Amino acid sequence: MSPFENGSDVTSNVDSGSIVRPMFGQSVSGDAAFTVEVKGGLLGVIVDVLGHGLEANNLAVRMQEYLVGQASGDVGRMLSRMHEEFRGSRGAALGLCLIESANGRTRFAGIGNTVIRRFGESETRLVSRNGVVGGIMPTPIEGAMQLSFGDTVVMYTDGVKAHFDASDYLGIRNDPPCAVAANIVDRFGKSHDDAACVVMRYQR
């Protein structure tokens, strides 16, 4: 991963962008943020490996490679498979979000300090379960919500301030997803922690 990594993608009815930024003073990040096209939709992923620096980055890279190669729309099962694959490692917080491109149905499962929020006509926050992927992890529980066209889904690690409002960033529903991800990390990121954000927008 580069020290400051940004990506974007458009898959059918879902436009997306992501960014990863290491904590100040580090050249690499233990976070990862990316999207993967799967059957029927787009899977958004955020990873926050415990700790910082090169060792955390190495595990984040391995986790990203595994998820890209094994990705599916079954977010709960994917978390369980990740837990088994990386059991005994330093572990990570992990959030997975699938948006079905045909109908906007969205499923999410997360372990540890990961956040998913929907910004639109109404705002929704889905909650991750406490635990560590690869360490002590409870059975994942899936959350679900129905998106409307124009809704923006934001996922971020705990290197981003957990609580901010749409009024704090008026462009969150209209700026391109890649710009939204970059602005969230720039405005609300914590200098003493790695930070990562994925943004997905359901569109016509």
d(CA 78, CA 166): 31
In the chain the domains, ranked by start, together with CATH numbers, are 5-202 (3.60.40.10)
- Give residue-wise pLDDT tens across range 169-178: 999 999 999 9
Note the pLDDT tens digit of each residue in 68-125. Answer: 999 988 999 999 999 999 999 999 999 999 999 999 999 999 999 999 999 998 898 8
pLDDT band at residue 5, thresholds of 50, 70 and 90? low
Query: What does the mean pLDDT of the chain come to?
Result: 92
* Residue 151 pLDDT level (bands cut at 50, 70, 90): very high
Q: Tell me, what's the pLDDT at 16? A: 96
Per the rule left: phi > 0, alpha: psi between -120 and 50, beta: everything else, 63 is alpha
Q: Is 72 helix (H, G, I), strand (E, B) or coil?
A: coil
